[in-house]
Amino acid sequence: MDTALVTRYESRTVESKRLYDAARRVIPGGVEGSIKHYSPYPLTFARAHGPLLQDVDGHEYVDYLLSFGALMLGHGHPAVVDATRRVWRDYGTSAFGLASPLEAQLAEVVQGFFPSVEELRFTNSGLEATLLAVRLGIAASGRDVVAKFEGHYHGGHEQVLVSVSPDLDRAGPARHPAAVPASLGLPEHFAQHTVVLPFNDYEACEAILTAERDRVGVVVMEPMEAGYVAADRAFVQQLRELTTRLGMVLVFDEVKTGFRVRLGGAQEYYGVKADLTALGKILGGGLPIGAVGGKREILELTSPLRKGGAVFHSGTFNGNPLSVSAGLATLELLKAPGVFQGVLDATDRLRRSIEQLGREAGFPVQTIGVGTVFDVLFSEGEVKNYRSRIAADKDSRLALDFLLMERGVFSKPLNRFSLSAAHGDDVIARTEEAFRDSFQSLRDLAAAT
Ligand SMILES: Cc1ncc(COP(=O)(O)O)c(C=O)c1O
């Protein structure tokens, strides 16, 4: 990246750097997750309110990271704060260990949004949700190979930590991708028991899954790759039919898309029903949560009442009342007339402005996404899947992200943009101005090099 941009970043974020250096002495890489890092070092934040973030150096940003899309009402929404306070007041604890009256209520609310969810189990994260979904799918189908799509992320557990963002020189043919481990420390077993599929290429998927029909029991997918590249409608429909025909359990990982693409997730958008659905993020209203819902006959495999053994699933904090109450408050608000539509409208407006401002500055900018999440790509080509997605010009995008930060707009560099109900007209207008200025500076930078 342009060295002047890095120098400016470093000079305006001195306190972030100091805290980052201190953290590195006790925390590997100074961050709590592989994807929480960016160079030269990530910001440290001190405060947030509604759509706004403040870093430890006192700079304010309109927040489009929104905790990786989890905060659909923005930061510290009074309804969420009150709901969690009520838990402390009424229950006197954050966790009974066993049930509170709230968890079955949230499960019913989720059923209302997702008609495919007949029963549901809570977990503490999206990762745990996809892990349980895969285990259920293997148990239900009796086959222990999992098919996943190249470029799809389902959290960092062994079975799906394959071909998440593979280097193309190791990734094999586009229509029959290789299984590339995405981490050190993964036993060989998992790459051998994972089949990798090309997204949005039905014929190739049909050929691979038909050939593997005796081994593959579960097909797991992000219905919108990386949260924003939509599956073609025909692709989803055909994959639904194929997996039914081949007796494979179809898992929709809606951790990102649930309550964000549509309130009923990608399944509402496509009008299809997955066998199992993994949820997380928005479901917890800003507190840790995950869930797996789906067909009763599959979910019942986890029931301790089951004769002849069960699928194991447990967790100390599963269904804890703080997360569940925050989720209930969030979903109730999102259901109120006009609220979700307002976020959809704001997203559309911002996307149109970004594309227009980018084009005016001479860049081939497209925004890609459905609902209240999108990404900004410097690319003229059609973006259909991982390989076409990574063909976009990353350097320009990275520079744009740093220019936007200087102008008070934040999403983690190279990350998607998510909106919330707190992103009103005023902050959208501020964001448009920041994009206008940033595109112009980017053009000046390009002209200078
Ligand atoms: C599609 C998808 N699945 C699963 C996960 C994992 O969720 P969590 O980070 O809550 O474990 C993520 C996280 O970003 C995700 O985007």
Whether 78-335 and 3-76+337-448 are alike in CATH topology: the answer is no
At CB < 8 A and 24+ separation, what contacts does 352-358 make? 353/432, 353/435, 354/432, 354/435, 357/432, 357/435, 357/436, 357/439, 358/435, 358/439
Do residues 302 and 313 lie in contact, with contact meaning Cβ atoms separated by under 8 Å?
yes
| pLDDT tens digits, 150-188 | 999 999 999 999 999 999 999 999 999 999 999 999 999
Q: DSSP for 82-97?
A: HHHHHHHHHHSSS--S
Question: Could you tell me the pLDDT band of residue 1, with boundaries at 50, 70 and 90?
Answer: confident
Interval 25-48 mean pLDDT: 96
What's the 446 CA to ligand 1 centre distance in angstroms?
Answer: 35
> What pLDDT does 50 receive?
98
Residue nearest to atom 7 of ligand 1 (CA): 126
User: Using only C-alpha atoms, what is the Rg of the chain?
Assistant: 22
The best mutation among 153, 259, 323 to test binding of ligand 1, ranked by most ligand atoms within 8 Å of the C-beta, falls on 153
Rounded Cα distance, 303 and 297, in Å: 10
Q: Which CATH architecture has domain 78-335?
A: 3-Layer(aba) Sandwich (3.40)
Sketch the domain layout of the chain as residue ranges: 3-76+337-448, 78-335
> What pLDDT does 42 receive?
98
- Which residues are CB-neighbours of 391 under 8 A, at least 6 positions away? 379, 381
What's the 256 CA to ligand 1 centre distance in angstroms?
Answer: 7
CA-to-CA dists, residue 132 to 119, 226, 264, 265, 316, angstroms: 14, 20, 21, 19, 15
* Cα–Cα nearest to 356, from 439, 283, 422, 295: 439
Question: 22: how many CB neighbours lie within 10 A of its CB?
Answer: 12
- pLDDT at residue 2 greater than cutoff 90: no
Residue nearest to atom 13 of ligand 1 (CA): 155
CA-to-CA dists, residue 200 to 144, 375, 389, 412, 416, angstroms: 24, 18, 12, 27, 20
* Cα–Cα nearest to 102, from 303, 328, 315: 328
Do residues 149 and 326 lie in contact, with contact meaning Cβ atoms separated by under 8 Å?
no
> What pLDDT does 424 receive?
97
Which parts of 336-385 fold into alpha helices (H)?
339-360
| pLDDT tens digits, 189-211 | 998 999 999 999 999 999 999 99
CA-to-CA dists, residue 8 to 14, 21, 293, angstroms: 10, 18, 47
* Cα–Cα nearest to 422, from 68, 67, 62, 81: 62
Cis, peptide link before residue 288, omega less than 30° from 0: no
CATH class of 3-76+337-448: alpha beta
DSSP, collapsed to helix, strand or coil, labels residue 410 as strand
- The one catalytic residue in 17, 281, 295, 384 is 281
| pLDDT tens digits, 79-96 | 999 999 999 999 999 999
Residue with tokens 């079975």, as numbered in its chain: 159
Tell me the CA end-to-end span of the chain in Å, nearest whole number.
12
2 catalytic, yes or no?
no
* Cα–Cα nearest to 374, from 396, 347, 356, 349: 347
- pLDDT at residue 448 greater than cutoff 90: no
Rounded Cα distance, 155 and 123, in Å: 13
